[in-house]
Structure 1
Amino acid sequence: MSHPHLPKFWFRLLQWFCREELFEELQGDLEEAFEENIESVGLQRARRIYRLEVLKLFRLSVIKKPAGVRVSQLPGNYITTSVRAMKHNPFYIAANILGMALALSIGTIGYFNYRFNDTFNEYFPQAASIYKVNGLRTAESTVGTSPGALAPALHLAGIAAFRYHNESIAVKLANQSSEGGGHKLFMEGLSFTDPGFIRHFDLANLNKEPLPALSHGEVYVSDETAMKFFGDPYPVGKLLTVILPNHQEQLLTVKDVFRKLPNNTSFRLSIIADFEHLSDFYGIDENSWSNWVDGTFVYAPEGDMTRLVSQMNTYLDVQNQANKDLQISEYRLDNILEWPALEASLHNSAFVPQMHPAAVAGTLGSAIGILLLACFNFINTSIALSGNRLKEIAVRKVLGGNRTSTITQFILENFLMIGVAVVIALGLTYYMIPGYNAMMSYEIIQPDQIPWTTFVYFGLVLVLCVGLMASAYPALYISKFPSLAIFRNKVVLSGKNRLMTVLLTFQFALCFYNIFGLLVTTDNAWYQERLGRGYDLGGVINIPLSDPQQYTLLEDRLKQQTDVRQIAGTSSLVGFSFNNSSIDFNGQEYEVAELGVGAGYLETLEIRLINGSLFSGNGTHTGEPRKEAVINSMLEDQLGGDALNKPIVVDGDRYTIIGVVEDFNLRQIMFNNKIKPCVMRLMRPQSYGYATLKTDGLATGKNRELEALWYELFPQELYGGFLQEDVMQQVRQTNFIMINISMIVATISILISIVGLYTLISLIAQKRKKEFGIRKVMGASWQQITQLLGRDIYWILGIAAIIGLAGGSAVMHSVLDGIYAYHIDISIIHYVWPVMIILGIVVGAVGYKMMQTSKLNPVEQLRVE
């Protein structure tokens, strides 16, 4: 191995299975390709390609032939013997196969969940050469957007740069009118792109041909959008109508249709228009340094990042002069294969990020844990069942069979069971994938987007690894016994086999861990639902406004409805939007969250007043509102207490604090979104961006009524009303995912461990049947014998409980701290319940087996074979 970065394990694997006369040539070709891939796609992808190529070489023409063994020498009755052995123990075999099938199914989902993130943006052939421009700010988060003028400036400098910007726009079919149901508009994403975006991202039509150039008034649509609006997969030449911000209609012609991009890409493309339409539709200068677009991309196949960044930084002065409130210290380039992992942390993020690493690691870790659990149970059961086949092994050896043939027999039997499990797992996975996707906000696993070769390679590797892991030890362990010792009854498989004991301990440690995690996540979900946000969520509806004058029309109509308790306008929304600002108090500066609200807004949300008064409506409809502010209790404490009627300076204006309210949360209570010091200013109606109302009835039903009223008042504008309760959406979805995954994993691990436990108890009871027979003859009760039988199990549970609960506590503390701003404290009850549940299961299994044993005739138990 001459190249220092070549994957060592995979090099040795190739050396192990490859024929000597082929190895040097094949390895030379692979190493040469590896060096070329490093230069073109980077070290990480080059290593991945090398591993894949090694797996592709695992075929009969390359694999070494076993020394001294010919296929014609293998007995022809292996499969017949395997099937006969499986028929003799249907319960254990069925349990083993079902457990393995569940584990394989969970493992498949875990792998493709990991693959979803690992192959993010690899759909684009030129992804390794495309970079996104991000802006660094001193001591602040990186800016994900960029000035609209940056790409044209770079283009003039000879750099292949292109822009992307997406806007949500109301769309209807061209033959719809505003009467008779024409108000049924659809919110759709309209993406504005430069021609370089289409070319370098290799967007193609349904015939896999490059998309033709767009003329003015033409757009591309995805095949999904085509079916949604036209019911036709190829509506080329047909018309779409979009409603512009000025409420005018604009006709657009469908130029061509492209296939919807996979979900593990950064873009959600629905309708694509040329970038020049951004100015036409929204009246902004697309080439201005003060107007920002979602993303600027650079195509750099040579990878000379230093020169490109240096060229971009020459525009910093003009950029910062045009944007005094958004200063950038330098630009940076992030490859689109790596940048999505950072997207969620960017300021002004506009693209689809990768899944959180904890979500990927958690799912994959659970899948691997279940797979190991099934393998360990498979080993335990195989060893236990082999105790009834010792004489068969001895006879085979006496009749000329060697240890190799015995090992082959047992491995073949186990692979046969795993083969059946794989078939069942395929069916289970088919039904489990939709359920798994339903837990997410969008489809994570898309089977139609995964190449069939990936399925084949993954299936072969999984079967090979699991098969060898689960069958190698039992086959080697059982085949070692000499025939003479077996016939003299001097070979007994001990119920205290150390490996079986260790594996069972590990199984129950996982059970304790999974049950502990399930209890904690369930309890925390209830805590999140009961946790007070500092304001009322129920019955509150928010309606976005495109024009502040819409508020007056809505207010007049809604005041006539008896079920509307209160309506108010606002510029900021508690739970959804606020500004980070600073205030000056007695010459000292404080960082705060700032909200601009209308009179009555705080009352509508039932934010509780502690001292002073809230805003009144006087003076807000004519002229400027009074310079009054309301602060929360946390800010008052920071100001030294008793801040009522004292002045503060916000954005250079002097305000008087007229009231103090209880603390309330400004966003969803997740991650680091804890309660912050907050100041609220009274805004004039001309700056309202939302109308917020409180209804006495069900908010969902009322929202549907408001939609009809909206289209009556504003037929050319899409209704966007949503519930205040939507602030709970992400936390509820996260809880739902965590609880369901924990429940599935805990249930499967318990079922598999019960089978393993019952197998071990059966083995112990079988090996000690003469002892139990003697004790029964001497007067021992079945309760005493049960205690003896369970004594070998309880110390395993003790060790497993310590390992599982300690691991669960460490992991859950980390998970809760990382995901939730506020969460439960893990208490003693979370440790007690897993012990009680597992102990109840163990006592039930031991008791059931002992009841079976107690019914046996002591004479039969004492009879010598």
Structure 2
Amino acid sequence: MLKNYMKLGFRNLIKHKASSFINISGLALAVGCCLMVFEYAYWAMHQDAFNSKIDHLFVVERVTDKNGKQQYHGDAPSPLGPALKNDFPQVKNVARLSYSSVIIKQKDNVFRDKITFVDDDFYKMFDYPVKWGDKQHFTDKDGIVLTSELSEKLFGHLNAVGNSLVITFNVDGRTIAENFIVKGVFSKYPANASFSFSALIPHSRMVSLGIDKAGDWREAANITFIEIADVKTLSSIRSQDKKYLKLYNAAHPDDQLTSFHYQALKTMNFHSYKVARNYFNTMEPIGLIMLVVIGVSILLMVYFNYINITIASASNRLKEISVRKVMGSSRKQIIFQFIIENMIICTIAVFLGLFLAEVFFFPWFSSIAGFELGPGFFLNFRTWIAALLLIFVSALSGALYPSFYISALDTVSMMKGNTKMGSNNRFRKALLGIQFFLTFISISTAIAFIQETKQIKHKPWGYQPESTVVVGLDNGSSYQTFKEELKRSKSIVAVTGSVQPVGNYVKEISIKNEGKTEQVKSISVLPGFINQLGMTVTEGRDFSEKQLTDQKNAVIVNRAFLKMMNWPTAIGKNILYNHHNYSVIGQVNDFHYESFEYEVAPMLLMSATPKEVKFVYIKSSSGLFSNVHEEIKSIWHNLYPNLPFDFYDQDQVFNGYFNGFSTISTVLAVTSLLMTVISISGVFGLALIILGKRMKEISVRKILGADIIHIIYLIYKEFLFALTTAIMVGIPLSFFLTDSMFNQLSTNSEFSFLPIGLAVIALISTTLISVSWHIFKANQANLSKYLKQE
């Protein structure tokens, strides 16, 4: 019996080629896309899952009060970790991570990188797979442990254990070169690791080098991990950590903490976007929610499409079913036949979807996400569970309604052709309306995001970053020599410097005015920096080399600072910072010194000396900018042959932020295209079936004088109500979703009707095109062929 059902199923598959192709291709695309989305969701929700102790690991953060709201800070006081371990028996292990920019030298291979100082407990807490070496020696004082990427960069594919290298540290303006022996190499980084490092060195070396002063509460570790034996005892730690707050606050009178926060590592990636000085992978929940909603929407849309076409196709088989019932088939057998037929279609579609996920969706998403998604996809147990579920759910959703409905119909009525299944089917029209609605939301959201991405890329920065190269310095004492050599070049217009880079990181300080304490951003720059970068001084003056008091007593503020202090003018106002009085000598327009996702905060510009400079800003002639990199590099290597040359273009500092928007735009554009194609194919298939059923009626109408306009109206009214309803419901919801999304991403965008209008035009035009083809074919058809049909 099953063999017979299979034969009938394949016969109907081949007989109805158009609807079979639409169903299989639509389901395959949806399955491939959804598997990619849900694999990413699984990856995101299982960060650091390779660690066996993940449920017991927590990150210690500082918490301050910022305008009445909690502000989390990723760094914690260096003595806090050891103190927690000593005072609380439930704290089994503590690992502090402190990053340091160094110069690594191995023979002629010299480059700059970040190494990480770690406590010995790190190797007890984390399960990073080891490629070479013995963990017992990882904590040797003269040892260093490398990642596989850094090992290959230094030693190729050879076993690096036992090799030596020289690392040069910059400690308070002094350069210290130390020899290290490679004790181990980790295997390739797990894709779901939430934080990264290049090389690990024992924390004890940080103390011996003088970078960290043991027991000093003014020192900080970038990340502090604690391992708690029983998670339930965490509350007792929280209730007893107030003594550490007192120690920290006593050492930081201008940076008072309100509490310490203990964040579970397994959920850190969903928390880190709220953390200042964050060193973890950041993932805003809105991003994951958007992707999951997209995946579910595509799957639902294809299901509705599939059910619609299945219902419409089933209505053409009423006589076949009635004959089978007359010949003795039971209702149960007819239902089972429909299920088997749908099972064949869904099995083909799901396996084709698995293939598309492996060869197209995963590689495409990995290329835009920046990490490999889906390795070992076919070996995952969850992949095959998902595949089986999709097959059964798809088959049952497409088969149950028509099979139960048709099998219950009167046999005589079906034989006579009196049964008109789906002629006024509200269920089918509701599914069609939802399909149009999802397509409309998808198109309008994608257009809005693409429009927003273009607007963000053209937002004014508040200064002129073009034709400016930024070179990093280890020691400010080399600034003057480097500057003089640069000024000899005809292609270089001006040279200046700063202590902090504009666009990457600025420090946050506490200042006082009239007894009120405020948290503001700060950057130290040389005289002429403001003018060279094209910032606008709206009041007062710039720093001057001729004014010796500027270096010690003068500051410049931005407009946001003026607004925060509620001052009509800033000139002449006094500010207390670090127990020293500063006088405001100038005001500049707001400029973006951090990513555009942050509002421009109050800023203090302070005067720096040449010896403090860490970043050199080199302005070149715009016409000669393409060649200036090699020229600067040549000057650098002539002066400092043993130092790596690190540079970037100032107009690219926000590329990470822009690329994030471009990635979202690309995903939404592909999604809207995919949903539009599915919608068109669904309408195309539905129109084909509807016209097939009504060709005799259309032939009679044409003989009686009906023109093409009447025929067009006759067919389009099948879709008109669903289309109109979808647009009317979709317009306000599209506005709400877009506005909510932009608020989450802090874009401060104004509403535009353009995406809504374009989405309406796109949806109507695609529907017209997909139906018009069938109407054209019907108008050209031989009427006698259909009039002869019973």
Same topology, TM > 0.5: yes
| Residues 1:240 and 2:240 are matched in the alignment | no
Partner residue in 2 for 1:561: 489
Q: Alpha carbons of 1:81 and 1:700: their partners in 2 closer, same or farther (altered >3 Å)?
A: farther
Residue of structure 1 aligned with 2:697, choices 771, 782, 790: 771
More strand by share: 2
Partner residue in 2 for 1:351: 280
* 8 Å CA contact 2:134, 2:184 repeated in 1: no
Task: Quote the offset at 1:798 in angstroms.
Answer: 0.8
Q: Alpha carbons of 1:685 and 1:308: their partners in 2 closer, same or farther (altered >3 Å)?
A: same
SS of the residue 1:436 aligns to: helix
Partner residue in 2 for 1:294: 222
* 8 Å CA contact 1:583, 1:648 repeated in 2: no
Task: Quote the offset at 1:808 in angstroms.
Answer: 1.4
Task: Quote the offset at 1:87 in angstroms.
Answer: 0.9
Partner residue in 2 for 1:762: 688
- Counterparts in 2 of 1:4-43, with a 5 A limit? none
* 8 Å CA contact 1:703, 1:722 repeated in 2: no
Q: Write out per-residue CA displacement over residues 368-399 of structure 1, whole angstroms, 9 at most, x where no aligned residue.
A: 10011111111111122223322322232233
Distance in 2 (alpha carbons) for counterparts of 1:265 and 1:745: 28
Q: Alpha carbons of 1:77 and 1:454: their partners in 2 closer, same or farther (altered >3 Å)?
A: same
Partner residue in 2 for 1:162: 94
Distance in 2 (alpha carbons) for counterparts of 1:705 and 1:89: 68
Distance in 2 (alpha carbons) for counterparts of 1:733 and 1:332: 32
| Residues 1:437 and 2:366 are matched in the alignment | yes
Partner residue in 2 for 1:496: 424
Distance in 1 (alpha carbons) for counterparts of 2:396 and 2:132: 44
Q: Write out per-residue CA displacement over residues 495-537 of structure 1, whole angstroms, 9 at most, x where no aligned residue.
A: 4322211111111111111111121111111111221121112
Distance in 2 (alpha carbons) for counterparts of 1:635 and 1:203: 46
* 8 Å CA contact 1:415, 1:467 repeated in 2: yes
Partner residue in 2 for 1:83: 10
Partner residue in 1 for 2:192: 264
SS of the residue 1:796 aligns to: helix
Q: Write out per-residue CA displacement over residues 174-217 of structure 1, whole angstroms, 9 at most, x where no aligned residue.
A: 3x23xxxx44x252x42322222211223442499866553222
Distance in 2 (alpha carbons) for counterparts of 1:641 and 1:346: 30
Distance in 1 (alpha carbons) for counterparts of 2:225 and 2:475: 33
Q: Alpha carbons of 1:367 and 1:208: their partners in 2 closer, same or farther (altered >3 Å)?
A: farther
| Residues 1:318 and 2:247 are matched in the alignment | yes
Q: Write out per-residue CA displacement over residues 434-469 of structure 1, whole angstroms, 9 at most, x where no aligned residue.
A: 2212222x3162424996223222322333333333
Residue of structure 1 aligned with 2:530, choices 602, 613, 622: 602
Q: Alpha carbons of 1:410 and 1:712: their partners in 2 closer, same or farther (altered >3 Å)?
A: farther
* 8 Å CA contact 1:541, 1:723 repeated in 2: yes
* 8 Å CA contact 2:254, 2:510 repeated in 1: no
Residue of structure 2 aligned with 1:674, choices 583, 589, 599: 599
Distance in 2 (alpha carbons) for counterparts of 1:839 and 1:406: 39
Distance in 1 (alpha carbons) for counterparts of 2:436 and 2:454: 27
Residue of structure 1 aligned with 2:448, choices 516, 520, 523: 520
Identity of aligned residues (%): 21
One-letter code aligned to 1:194 = D
Partner residue in 2 for 1:141: 71
SS of the residue 1:618 aligns to: coil
Partner residue in 1 for 2:43: 116
Q: Alpha carbons of 1:253 and 1:113: their partners in 2 closer, same or farther (altered >3 Å)?
A: same
The answer to which of 309-318 and 787-796 deviates more is 309-318
Q: Alpha carbons of 1:400 and 1:173: their partners in 2 closer, same or farther (altered >3 Å)?
A: farther
One-letter code aligned to 1:165 = L
Task: Quote the offset at 1:736 in angstroms.
Answer: 0.9
The answer to which of 101-110 and 698-707 deviates more is 698-707
One-letter code aligned to 2:163 = K
Task: Quote the offset at 1:278 in angstroms.
Answer: 1.9
* 8 Å CA contact 1:647, 1:654 repeated in 2: no
Distance in 2 (alpha carbons) for counterparts of 1:80 and 1:705: 74
The answer to which of 420-429 and 201-210 deviates more is 201-210
One-letter code aligned to 1:601 = F
Distance in 2 (alpha carbons) for counterparts of 1:167 and 1:795: 62
* 8 Å CA contact 1:584, 1:648 repeated in 2: no
Q: Alpha carbons of 1:710 and 1:377: their partners in 2 closer, same or farther (altered >3 Å)?
A: same
Partner residue in 1 for 2:339: 411
Residue of structure 1 aligned with 2:646, choices 681, 701, 720: 720
One-letter code aligned to 1:855 = Q
Residue of structure 2 aligned with 1:811, choices 737, 740, 752: 737
Task: Quote the offset at 1:838 in angstroms.
Answer: 1.5
* 8 Å CA contact 2:496, 2:617 repeated in 1: yes
Residue of structure 2 aligned with 1:150, choices 60, 77, 80: 80
SS of the residue 2:150 aligns to: helix
Q: Write out per-residue CA displacement over residues 288-314 of structure 1, whole angstroms, 9 at most, x where no aligned residue.
A: 332211233332222322343455444
| Residues 1:200 and 2:125 are matched in the alignment | yes
Task: Quote the offset at 1:144 in angstroms.
Answer: 2.5
Q: Write out per-residue CA displacement over residues 457-504 of structure 1, whole angstroms, 9 at most, x where no aligned residue.
A: 232233333333333323333333343222211223334322211111
One-letter code aligned to 2:120 = P
Partner residue in 2 for 1:370: 298
SS of the residue 2:185 aligns to: strand
* Unpaired runs of at least 5, structure 2: none
SS of the residue 2:121 aligns to: helix
* Unpaired runs of at least 5, structure 1: 1-73
Task: Quote the offset at 1:642 in angstroms.
Answer: 6.3
TM-score, structure 1 as length reference: 0.84
The answer to which of 274-283 and 807-816 deviates more is 274-283
One-letter code aligned to 2:497 = G
Distance in 2 (alpha carbons) for counterparts of 1:152 and 1:603: 48
Partner residue in 2 for 1:32: none
| Residues 1:457 and 2:385 are matched in the alignment | yes
SS of the residue 2:656 aligns to: helix
| Residues 1:848 and 2:773 are matched in the alignment | yes
SS of the residue 2:266 aligns to: coil
* 8 Å CA contact 1:665, 1:676 repeated in 2: no
TM-score, structure 2 as length reference: 0.91
Q: Alpha carbons of 1:650 and 1:542: their partners in 2 closer, same or farther (altered >3 Å)?
A: farther
SS of the residue 1:244 aligns to: strand
Residue of structure 1 aligned with 2:115, choices 175, 182, 190: 190
Partner residue in 2 for 1:683: 608
Distance in 2 (alpha carbons) for counterparts of 1:557 and 1:295: 40
The answer to which of 410-419 and 310-319 deviates more is 310-319
